[in-house]
Each structure stands twice: as structure tokens, then as C-alpha cells.
Amino acid sequence: MTATEVNGIAVVADEPTAAPIKTRSGVPVLWVQTRTLLLADGTIVYGCVHYDYTRDNMHLIRPYLNKHRDLKTTGSKAPARSMTLDQLLTRVENLSKVEADRDHWKARAVKAEKSLNTLRNALKG
């Protein structure tokens, strides 16, 4: 978390935010990128793990985090629209490789499913 104070009030605790959902086994899900911040005056606000962005409602942080998706894929703080042509071409090339790999594994999965169905039918009869 980069916020050390909110509206002039010091942050005294910074933890991952508990989501309003639980796993099937009942364990609370934690949003690691949405931070629950306890301020020195006892109030709680929510913040973004990447920047000083804070809000009183935890659900307002999640849409803000979508802005960071470009940062993860480009490896820089520049959004995709400000990338150079070489950077864009590299991303397109990488995407083509991922798509080819996906198609290869999809074909293998379809073939394996057919084989599995054949085995199941043989075992039934």
C-alpha cells in the first residue's frame, strides 16, 4: 500500500480486504489488491495496493484496479494506447503464440475426451 495517510490522518494498519464471499469450505476470500486501512482516528477506509487511491466503500476500489491490467501486461506504467509500434507488434506476436498453443492443447483435449467416452462406453457394455 502506498497511502501512508488519508485526508491528513495517518494509516496505522494495512491488511488485505475480506471479500463478501467465502470459499466452499467457508474460508473468507481475501482481496489482496484491495487494502483495508485503519486510520489513527479509528475510521476504516479502503485503498488500492498500487497507488494512494482510497475510498470509503470497498466496492469502489475493484473497478479502479482494472486500470492496472495494462500495467501487468505491458510491464510499464504506460497504458496500452501510449505504447510504441514495436511494443504493440511484440504483444500481437506473443498473442499469436498463445493462441496457437491454446489451439494445440484444445485439440489434444478434444481427442482425449473422445477416447475417454469410448472407454466409458466399452466399460458399460
DSSP conformation letters of 65-102: HGGGHHHHHHSSSS-GGG--HHHHHHHHHHHHHHHHHH
Counting residues of the chain whose pLDDT is more than 70, the rounded percentage is 86
pLDDT, residue 68, reads 67
Least confident of 5-14, 32-41, 69-78: 69-78
Using pLDDT thresholds of 50, 70 and 90, give the confidence band for residue 69.
low
Q: In the predicted model, is pLDDT for residue 6 greater than 80?
A: yes
What ranges do the domains of the chain cover? 5-75, 84-125
Average pLDDT over residues 75-102: 78
Q: How many Å apart are CA 56 and CA 22, to the nearest integer?
A: 22
Instruction: Please name which of 29, 21, 48 lies closest in space to residue 37, comparing C-alpha atoms.
Output: 48
Q: Would you state the cell numbers that stand for residue 56, as one nine-digit string? A: 470509503
Kind and range of the H or E element at 14?
strand 9-22
